[in-house]
Amino acid sequence: MPTITGLKAYDLRFPTSLEAHGSDAMHTDPDYSCGYVVITTDAGDGLEGHGLTFTCGRGTEVVVVAIQSLSFLLVGKKLEDIYDDFSSFWRALTSESQMRWIGPEKGVIHLATAAIVNALWDLWAKREGKPLWKLLVDMEPEKLVSCIDFRYISDVLTKEEAVEMLKKKQEGKADREKEMLEKGYPAYITSAGWLGYSEDEIRKRCREGLAQGWTRFKVKVGADLADDVRRCGLIREEIGWDNTMMVDANQRWDVQESIDHMLRLAEFKPLWIEEPTSPDDALGHATIAKALNPLGIGVATGEQCQNRVIFKQMLQAGGLQFCQIDSCRMGGVNEVVSVILMAAKFGIPVCPHAGGVGLCQMVQHLAVFDYVSVSASLDNRVCEFADHLHENFKEAIVIKNASYVLPKAAGYSTEMKPESISGYQYPNGAVWQQLFKEGKFTAP
Q: Where are the beta strands (DSSP E) in 181-241?
A: 185-189, 216-220
Considering the domain boundaries, does residue 146 fall inside one? no
Does residue 141 lie within any of the structural domains?
no
In a domain, 152, yes or no: no
Helix, strand or coil, per DSSP, at residue 274: strand
pLDDT, position 346 = 99
The answer to whether residues 183 and 403 touch, using CB atoms and an 8 Å cutoff, is: yes
Inter-residue contact 359 to 387 (CB < 8 Å)? no
Q: Residue 48's beta-bridge partner residues?
A: 40
221, pLDDT greater than 90: yes
Whether the predicted pLDDT of 303 surpasses 80: yes
pLDDT over 80 (residue 66): yes
Question: What's the rounded mean pLDDT across residues 119-137?
Answer: 99
Displacement of CA 29 from its chain's centroid (Å): 20
Q: DSSP letters of 323-344? A: E---TTTSSSHHHHHHHHHHHH
Which residues make Cβ contacts (< 8 Å) with residue 88, sequence separation at least 6? none
> What is the average pLDDT across 114-132?
99
| Residue range 355-370: mean pLDDT, rounded | 97
For residue 98, give the CATH number of its domain: 3.30.390.10
First-to-final CA distance of the chain = 43
Same domain, 305 and 344: yes
Whether 239 and 355 share a structural domain: yes
Confirm whether 291 is domain-assigned.
yes
Residue 409 neighbours by CB distance under 10 Å: 14
Query: Does residue 254 share a domain with residue 284?
Result: yes
> What are the beta bridge partners of residue 185?
404
Average pLDDT over residues 196-206: 91
4-13, strands of its sheet edge to edge: 4-13, 33-41, 48-55
Q: Given a cut of 90, is residue 20 above it in pLDDT?
A: no
Indicate which residues carry an active-site annotation. 220, 353
Helix axes of 359-369 and 333-346: crossing angle, nearest 10 degrees = 50
Query: pLDDT tens-digit profile of 144-187?
Result: 999 999 999 999 999 999 999 999 999 999 999 999 999 999 99
pLDDT of residue 71: 98
* 191: confidence class by pLDDT, cuts 50, 70, 90: confident
pLDDT at 24: 73
* Predicted pLDDT of residue 133: 99
Report the predicted TM-score, pTM, of the whole model to 2 decimal places. 0.97
Write down the pLDDT at residue 256.
99
Question: In this structure, are 213 and 267 located in the same domain?
Answer: yes
Burial of 128 (0-12, 13-18, 19+ CB in 10 A): middle
Least confident of 44-58, 80-94, 188-202, 403-417: 188-202
Amino acid at 129: G
Residues 243 and 308 in one domain: yes
Q: What is the pLDDT of residues 406-426, one digit of tens each?
A: 999 999 999 999 999 999 999
Over residues 269-293, mean pLDDT: 98
pLDDT value at position 401?
A: 97
Question: Are 397 and 428 contained in the same domain?
Answer: no
Q: How many other C-beta atoms can be found within 10 angstroms of the C-beta atom of residue 104? A: 14
Strand 33-41 to strand 4-13: parallel, antiparallel, or no bridges (unpaired)? antiparallel
Band of pLDDT at residue 193, cut at 50, 70 and 90: confident
**How far, in Å, CA of 364 to CA of 376, rounded?**
16
Report residue 219: phi and psi, to 5°.
-120, 135
C-alpha span between 2 and 124 (Å, rounded): 11
- Phi, psi (degrees; rounded to nearest 5) at 349: -70, 145
What is the distance between the alpha carbons of residues 311 and 320, in angstroms, rounded to a whole number? 9
| Rounded average pLDDT over 223-238 | 95
Q: Is the separation of the CB atoms in 1 and 80 below 8 Å?
A: yes
Please check whether residue 302 is in contact with residue 323, taking contact to mean a CB–CB distance below 8 angstroms.
yes
- What pLDDT, on a 0 to 100 scale, did the predictor assign at position 28? 77
Q: Which domain holds residue 112?
A: 4-131+419-438
In a domain, residue 268? The reply is yes
For position 197, what pLDDT does the model report? 87
Instruction: Tell me the average pLDDT across 307-323.
Output: 99
Confidence check: pLDDT of 429 > 80: yes
In sequence order, the 6+-apart residues with CB closer than 8 A to the CB of 333 are 117, 118, 121, 132, 136, 147, 327, 366, 412
Query: Does 121 lie in the same domain as 247?
Result: no
